[in-house]
A and B are shown apart, each in its own frame.
Chain A
Amino acid sequence: DVKVTQSSRYLVKRTGEKVFLECVQDMDHENMFWYRQDPGLGLRLIYFSYDVKMKEKGDIPEGYSVSREKKERFSLILESASTNQTSMYLCASSFPRGEAFFGQGTRLTVV
């Protein structure tokens, strides 16, 4: 079975903190994705990586950065957390044309 694991299920951080969300997959997938999900807005793509050290901006990259130093790990970084970044964050991975599989999600609250 494909396994995508996100480092935390729930996180509470303070405004201005630097926040790291980690995602690890065990299927040797080339593609990895970070989304945020908010009520009424669906899944919005933050960043997409198609290979180690390669990344593309998604629809809403502002306030975020990513790191992919190893194929199995894709990190999302909130440089200075703000309350409008309170959301559910979902990581996914896939082969280039294939199905994407999701982690369990991280519910981040910024206070």
Chain B
Amino acid sequence: QKEVEQNSGPLSVPEGAIASLNCTYSDRVSQSFFWYRQYSGKSPELIMSIYSNGDKEDGRFTAQLNKASQYVSLLIRDSQPSDSATYLCAVKTGANNLFFGTGTRLTVIP
């Protein structure tokens, strides 16, 4: 079983809609969870971090964490064409190692 799994997509949403991205992880003692955005040809850019159960909001982005279900999600409200990118879920294990999912490609259609 992979450390981190994401719904592989691709995902297409119309401009202004909510995009929902999901991720599960296998290491129960993981404490730190991240979402990165990667544009084609660029390196990953951190957009959200979450460390405790519940929701964390930052502008149009909301990260949700459920440690009991080993589940992390990212919601993007009012999606814009500039949000079109690959979104990577990342989890730090108990040993502080950092594993990534394979990413979900999001396309926002104008």
- Chain A residues within CB distance 8 Å of chain B: 31, 33, 35, 40-43, 45, 48, 50, 56, 58, 90, 92, 94, 96-105
Contacts and interface: CB of A to CB of B under 8 A. Distances in A.
29 contacts: A31-B98, A35-B100, A40-B102, A41-B102, A42-B88, A42-B102, A43-B44, A43-B100, A43-B103, A45-B97, A45-B98, A45-B100, A48-B97, A48-B98, A56-B95, A56-B97, A90-B43, A92-B98, A97-B92, A97-B96, A99-B46, A99-B49, A100-B34, A100-B46, A100-B98, A102-B43, A102-B45, A103-B43, A105-B42
Contact of B98 (A42, A94, A103): A94
Q: Which one of A40, A41, A99, A105 has the highest number of Cβ atoms from chain B below 10 Å of its Cβ?
A: A99
B31 interface: yes
A97 B32 contact: yes
Contacts of B92: 97
A97 B51 CA distance: 9
Interface in B11-52: 31-32, 34, 42-46, 49, 51
A101 B45 CA distance: 7
Contacts of A104: 43
Interface in B82-98: 88, 90, 92, 95-98
Interface size class of B (residues with CB under 8 A): 20 to 34
Contacts of B103: 42-43
A100 B88 CA distance: 13
B61 interface: no
Q: Which 5 A-B pairs have the closest CB atoms?
A: A42-B102, A43-B100, A102-B43, A96-B96, A105-B43
